[in-house]
Structure 1
Amino acid sequence: MTEKTRRTPRQSRSEATVEAILEAAFQLLEAGGVEALTTNHIAERAGVSVGTLYQYFGGKQAILAGLAQKRAEAARDRIAEIVIANSSVGRPELGAVRLIVRTLATAFEGSPATRRALLDALTAEGGDDVVMRNHVTFFDMIAGKAALGFDLSPEAGFVLTHAVVGLLRAATIESDLALEPQALEDELVRLMEAYISALLVARSG
């Protein structure tokens, strides 16, 4: 089945089917890893036929990419809400930085192997365009709704949206370092608060 004829989940039943497929994939990924994951196993766990599964997804990698994209979008939307809710005229709430970092750090739940598989699938499916699209969408979402208190140049916006994501991705890839999650969160918060403070100083100066 071609991508053009593959269904999109517009009706509630279709959405439920897609959700069941994605959840089944996550459960099996956690249990046996990406090597043991097959579309037959996913369909069986989801309670659908393999034919039904292929009406929505092109294969295992597309399912993993769909799961990763869904979670990335949920994290993006949540961060937009945090930024809008915690900004005020003249100065954003720096305390919101920890909420943002934690949201990014927990966007892909599961074991390190599961997070790595999801990131790999997302990159393979959409490449760097995935990050760029979420970057653009995020700033569209907060435009006119968040008083950041500093000049948000394209360069500053790039750093703000890519620094934590890039470091978290590196931590997932370099899992042998066994970085302690709370300590890593503290360091990322320190990094972002220092950068935002510097932007506020530059604006006031």
Structure 2
Amino acid sequence: MTERTRRFPTQARAASTVEAILDATFQLLEETGFETLTTNHIAARAGVSIGTLYQYFADKNDILAAMAQQRAEKVRDSIAAMLIEQPNLGSVRPIVRALMNGFEGSPGTRHALLGALFSKGDEVLYRHHELFLAAIAGKAQLDIELTPERAFILTHAAVSLLRASAAEQDLALDPEALEDELVRLMEAYLAALRTA
């Protein structure tokens, strides 16, 4: 048996264990919220020992950050694919919807995940911004010139507003109305760019 063959099951098991931990964390966040979430509860729900959990994650915030990063990557990749496949979308609604639905769950869950994503600072958004631009470079044929300033506004405006809406849960913003307003904002900016 080759070394590669011996390692693969271990890697697959490790990936399966990590996914079980992430799934258990999401379930517990939805059921009981962030305040009562503990690594012991997560390990029990995932069906792993607490020692196994600590082999992969330092604490519950580390788990939340991994969950948030995973979701952010999926959103980023799906939006890049949209722009590459259909560079001149009739509306930005699919992009706004992808951003809004990328962090599924209750408002409390979204707040916990977005908080964890940005817990190491706002450079997280910068890294995703750079990776997004690299993913579409030379592949997406957009109908506007995407200068660094315009790309900054387009990638940061909606994300920053969604982050604020998750943090300000007392406002009880209606998700459908918020989506409509974000679409209006982004489409007005794009329309202004097209006539500039």
For residue 104 of structure 2, the aligned residue among 94, 102, 109 is 109
Counterparts of 2:30 and 2:96, CA distance in 1: 24
Structure 1 segments of 4 or more deviating over 4 A? Answer: none
The separation in 2 between residues aligned to 1:99 and 1:78, in whole angstroms, is: 10
For structure 1, the residue ranges without an aligned partner over 5 or more in a row are 1-9
- Write the distance in 2 (CA, Å) between the matches of 1:173 and 1:116: 6
Q: Quote how far apart the aligned CAs of 1:174 are.
A: 1.3
1:94·1:193 contact (CA, 8 Å) conserved in 2?
Answer: no
| Equivalent in the alignment of 2:30 | 30
Match of 2:150 in 1: 156
Post-superposition shift, 1:20? Answer: 0.5
Mapped to 1, the partners of 2:142 and 2:11 lie a distance apart of 38
Q: How many pairs are equivalent? A: 187
- Find the counterpart in structure 2 of residue 13 from structure 1: 13
Which residue matches 2:6? none
**TM-score (normalised: structure 2):** 0.92
- Aligned residue for 1:36, secondary structure, equals coil
Aligned to 1:180: 174
Q: Counterpart in 2 of 1:99?
A: 94
Structure 2: which 5+ residue stretches go unaligned? Answer: 1-9
AA matched with 1:175: Q
Amino acid at match of 1:94: G
Report matched runs for 1:113-124 at 5 Å: 113-124=108-119
Alignment of structure 1 residues 1-205 onto 2, 5 Å = 11-87=11-87, 92-95=88-91, 97-124=92-119, 126-202=120-196
Q: Which amino acid aligns with 1:36?
A: T
- Matched residues in 1 for 2:22 and 2:11: separation? 17
State the 1:52 CA deviation: 0.8
- 1:140-179, CA deviations, whole angstroms, 9 ceiling, x for partnerless residues? 0000000112111111000000010111111111111111
- Residue identity matched to 1:178: A
Separation (CA, whole Å) in 2 of partners of 1:23 and 1:49: 15
Tell me the distance in 1 between the aligned counterparts of 2:178 and 2:14: 39
The Cα of 1:197 is off from its aligned counterpart by 1.5
SS of aligned partner of 1:94: coil
1:106 positional shift:
1.0
| Separation in 2, partners of 1:198, 1:22 | 42
Provide the C-alpha distance between the structure 1 equivalents of 2:177 and 2:59, rounded to a whole number of angstroms.
Answer: 37
